[in-house]
């Protein structure tokens, strides 16, 4: 009797055995519905065996195997297993959460789609139907008849848009002979077919990069493509994809933010007109995501563009992996399975024996270090690709000698006036949304704080609300201090809304647009914003880091950067690296076409090494300086880390749990001096969403030693009584 080993979405790191009388080896990778206690759960078949260690009387029989879609490939199952082993997360939770939402339950997969090519058209008798014979009150019939008269071929999806009742009307008309069904012949998909058009001429550096990678297409190599902003990394990607398509292979392109998807998608569609391209990101509904996933699995989609979860997409003909803006922290999942999509992309490429390209103007120090030591192959683009385009001139405005107007220096205000007179666009970058970060009483010093988080409430003056940007809590704006009753409460500091208000007063004729998570929350808002910018319907852009990543604004000549000094005093050892990347990225938005670019950074520390590096556009000097500091301090990339994160309603419960875990860890590494264990400490933000948090850090100079330690430690952690405490192992953490 065949025995299935099934991965289930439960927090237990084991496979479960079930009897399946009709199962075969070809069922590996299919979904299966099984009994689990009193529940029905959906799992993935990982193995089919003839033997089991489970007593026969305890074995249960499956409810059924879902065969409506092809099974997951062995490569994808291997990826799930690697991810589970490396990040020490239950295999079933890894596998099920790697699937589209519609495949995670027991319901059959039904896609309302036109992929079968079925269309509806009026017959001769249907064209003779007089609309006046249809009752006026029956609007659905009138709309359907009008639509059929307008369009020669109508799809079922277009019929449903009229009304759900229109489908029934259509069926009646088919029986009456008014409408007939036609099945369109799908044109054969020409693999690698691209639109013949005049493509931009490659620079010498771009040509070298393309030739170097394509010369070794049949081998696994990790290529770090380090190019200054505007150097044409996207064009290199496009040329590589063209060559991959010509071989009949698929390309996976990972990007950090959903807001970059429409722009890149448009570029790809314009270049590869005859090629099937799908986008996979959180902005899609469940049906759209499943449809794209299936097209990728069945080999129909040749280019897959997506955010981090797309790394788990099944790709039978994978020929190239590209990770754009590889330094971005968005590639690291920060809850549940805490995986790095960038690192898993490298594993997928190695698994398929194909190249992976990591692109960035400001590479992560881990990738940069790998390139310096020869583990990655290093390619550089040091010049901007657009003819006569140069890197912007960067100046630091010394705020110690300034008397700012609402945080704006006189020099920046003059530069904006000049920019507006020349009918050019300017961008003001401040990485803080809302009106002000603090609401304070000047009499007693009270500040508005979140009761669920260790953070202050942010003032949103337009909505007259106080908001926590960590847990989402909102409350009304108080009219007086709740502590002393004084009405003299004021917002302190600046956010995007306050800067927008100031500019509206200074430049009343200017067209101002604020871009942050508040302004782009509605669907398609970002596409509308980009359209307005490219049509020159905006004069001043005010925004957060959403504007810093990968966008190309041809008419943008001035960038002003506010309040960046805060990051200089962060306790996070990665703060300097992140600030450098952020400021270089946002500075790179200026002067990307024929117009000259200028960047003004308001700072009280103009001589700081980070600002010197940005003025000189020299990432390497500061990167190597930071690496030397990390080597001395024993920080990544010279050591490998894991963070045991724990949370509970009581901080004492968390610390007690971590103290017990600390003793367990010490007993494991008693004879291994390569493992270093630190004492449990509260998290930087101790309270988050009503939970008290703390963590315990373990690190080692050898990754294998750390993984071996984690394998033993995790077993002991599972046995540790922790019903009041939630915990997770965060391998290669990037936030503390």
Joined tokens for residue 52: 């089991």
Run means of pLDDT, 10 residues per run, the chain, 736 residues: 94 93 92 93 95 90 90 96 96 95 82 57 80 78 80 70 78 82 51 52 94 94 93 94 94 89 83 90 85 92 95 96 95 94 97 97 96 96 78 92 88 94 93 92 92 94 90 91 89 92 94 86 72 88 81 85 91 92 88 80 95 93 95 95 96 95 91 89 94 97 94 91 88 93
Asked if residue 707 lies in contact with residue 729, where contact means CB atoms within 8 angstroms, the answer is no
Distance CA 565, CA 583 (A): 11
Q: How many CA atoms lie within 13 A of 23 on its CB side?
A: 31
The secondary structure of 690-721 as a DSSP string is TEEEEEEEEEES-HHHHHHHHHHHHHHHHHS-
Find, among 643, 641, 665, 646, the residue nearest to 656 by Cα.
646
pLDDT at 458: 95
Tell me 109's DSSP state.
Answer: -
- The answer to whether the CB of 421 falls within 8 A of the CB of 588 is no
pTM of the model: 0.86
Distance CA 683, CA 698 (A): 15
Token code pair at residue 207: 């040509």
**Tokens describing residue 382:** 């040091």
Q: How far is 26 from 722, CA to CA, in rounded Å?
A: 40
Q: Helices 496-506 & 410-421, crossing angle to 10 degrees? A: 60
State the Cα–Cα distance between residues 256 and 252, nearest whole angstrom. 13
Residue with tokens 């529940």: 39
637 preceded by cis ω (within 30°)? yes
At 465, give phi and psi (nearest 5°): -130, 155
Spatial CA neighbour of 657 closest among 717, 711, 698, 730: 717
Considering only CA atoms, give the Rg of the chain.
Answer: 29
Return d(Cα 528, Cα 535) in angstroms, integer: 11
Residues contacting 7, CB < 8 A, separation 6+: 15, 43, 44, 46, 80, 91, 92, 95, 96
How deeply is 104 buried, as exposed, middle or buried, from its count of CB atoms within 10 A (0-12, 13-18, 19+)? middle
Q: Which residues contact 482 (CB under 8 A, 6 or more apart)?
A: 446
DSSP string, 486-511: -S-EEEES--HHHHHHHHHHH-TTS-
Domains contained in the chain, CATH given:
3-103 (3.40.1440.60), 118-183 (no CATH), 204-381 (3.40.50.300), 393-436+493-629 (3.40.50.300), 640-731 (3.30.70.360)
Q: 311: how many CB neighbours lie within 10 A of its CB?
A: 26
Q: For residues 93 and 289, what is the distance between their CA atoms, to the nearest angstrom? A: 19
Q: What DSSP line would sit under 163-180, residue for residue?
A: -HHHHHHHHHHHHHTSEE
pLDDT, position 186: 43
| Rounded Cα distance, 66 and 107, in Å | 9
Residue written as token pair 């809590």: 473
How deeply is 395 buried, as exposed, middle or buried, from its count of CB atoms within 10 A (0-12, 13-18, 19+)?
A: middle
Q: What share of the chain is helix, strand, coil (3-state, %, to 5)?
A: 35, 25, 40
What pLDDT is attached to residue 174?
Answer: 82
């Amino acid at each position: 009797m065949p025995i299935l080993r099934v991965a289930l979405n439960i927090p237990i790191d084991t496979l479960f055995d079930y009897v399946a009388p009709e199962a075969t080896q070809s069922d590996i990778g299919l979904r299966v519905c099984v009994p689990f206690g009193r529940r029905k759960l959906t799992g993935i078949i990982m193995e089919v065996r003839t033997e089991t260690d489970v007593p026969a009387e305890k074995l249960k029989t499956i409810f059924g195997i879902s065969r409506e879609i092809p099974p997951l490939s062995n490569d994808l199952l291997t990826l799930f297993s690697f991810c589970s082993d490396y990040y020490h997360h239950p295999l079933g939770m890894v596998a099920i959460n790697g699937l589209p939402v519609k495949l995670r339950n027991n319901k059959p997969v039904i896609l309302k789609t036109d992929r079968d090519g079925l269309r509806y058209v009026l017959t001769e008798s249907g064209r003779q139907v007089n609309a006046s014979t249809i009752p006026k009150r029956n609007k659905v019939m009138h709309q359907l008849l009008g639509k059929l008269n307008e369009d020669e071929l109508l799809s079922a999806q277009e019929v449903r848009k009229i009304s759900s009742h229109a489908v029934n009307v259509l069926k009646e008309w088919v029986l009456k002979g008014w409408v007939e069904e036609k099945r369109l012949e799908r044109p054969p998909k020409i693999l690698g077919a691209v639109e013949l058009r005049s493509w931009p001429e490659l620079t010498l550096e771009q040509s070298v990069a393309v030739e170097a990678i394509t010369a070794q297409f049949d081998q696994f190599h990790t290529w770090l493509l380090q190019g200054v902003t505007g150097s044409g990394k996207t064009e290199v990607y496009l040329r590589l994809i063209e060559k991959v398509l010509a071989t009949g292979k698929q390309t996976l392109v990972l990007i950090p933010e959903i807001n970059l998807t429409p722009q890149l998608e448009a570029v790809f569609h314009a270049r590869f007109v005859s090629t099937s391209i799908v986008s996979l990101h959180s902005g899609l509904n469940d049906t759209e995501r499943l449809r794209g996933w299936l097209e990728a699995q069945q080999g129909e989609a040749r280019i897959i563009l997506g955010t981090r979860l797309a790394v788990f997409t099944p790709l039978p003909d994978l020929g190239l992996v590209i990770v754009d803006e590889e330094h971005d922290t968005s590639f690291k999942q920060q809850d549940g399975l805490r995986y790095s999509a960038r690192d898993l992309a490298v594993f997928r490429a190695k698994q398929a024996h194909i190249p992976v390209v990591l692109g960035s103007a400001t590479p992560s120090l881990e990738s940069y270090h790998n390139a310096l030591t020869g583990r990655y192959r290093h390619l550089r683009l040091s010049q901007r690709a657009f003819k006569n385009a140069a890197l912007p001139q960067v100046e630091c405005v010394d705020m110690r000698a300034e008397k700012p107007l609402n945080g704006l220096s006189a020099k920046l205000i003059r530069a904006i006036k000049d920019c507006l007179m020349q009918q050019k666009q300017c961008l003001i970058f401040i990485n803080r949304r809302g009106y002000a970060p603090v609401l304070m009483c000047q009499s007693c010093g009270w500040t508005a704080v979140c009761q669920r988080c260790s953070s202050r409430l942010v003032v949103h003056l337009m909505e007259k609300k106080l908001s926590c940007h960590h847990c989402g809590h909102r409350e009304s704006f108080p009219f007086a201090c709740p502590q002393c009753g004084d009405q003299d409460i004021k917002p302190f500091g600046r956010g995007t809304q306050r800067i927008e208000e100031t500019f509206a007063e200074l430049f009343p004729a200017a067209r101002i647009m604020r871009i942050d998570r508040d302004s782009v929350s509605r669907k398609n808002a970002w596409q509308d914003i980009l359209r307005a910018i490219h049509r020159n319907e905006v004069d001043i852009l005010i925004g957060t880091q959403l504007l810093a990543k990968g966008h190309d604004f041809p008419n943008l000549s001035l960038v002003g950067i506010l309040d960046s000094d805060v990051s200089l005093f962060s306790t996070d050892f990665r703060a300097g690296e992140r600030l450098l990347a952020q400021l270089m990225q946002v500075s790179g938005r200026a002067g990307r076409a024929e117009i000259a670019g200028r960047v003004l950074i308001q700072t009280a520390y103009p001589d700081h090494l980070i600002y010197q590096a940005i003025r000189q556009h020299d990432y390497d000097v500061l990167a190597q300086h930071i690496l030397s500091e990390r080597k001395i301090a024993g920080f990544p990339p010279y050591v490998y880390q894991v963070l045991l994160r724990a949370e509970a309603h009581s901080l004492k419960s968390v610390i007690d749990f971590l103290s017990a875990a600390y003793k367990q860890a010490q007993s494991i590494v008693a004879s291994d001096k390569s493992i270093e264990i630190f004492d449990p400490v509260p998290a930087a933000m101790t309270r988050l969403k009503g939970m008290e948090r703390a963590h315990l850090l373990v690190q080692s100079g050898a990754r294998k030693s750390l993984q071996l330690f984690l394998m033993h430690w995790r077993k002991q952690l599972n046995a540790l009584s922790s019903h009041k405490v939630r915990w997770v192992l965060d391998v290669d953490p990037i936030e503390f």
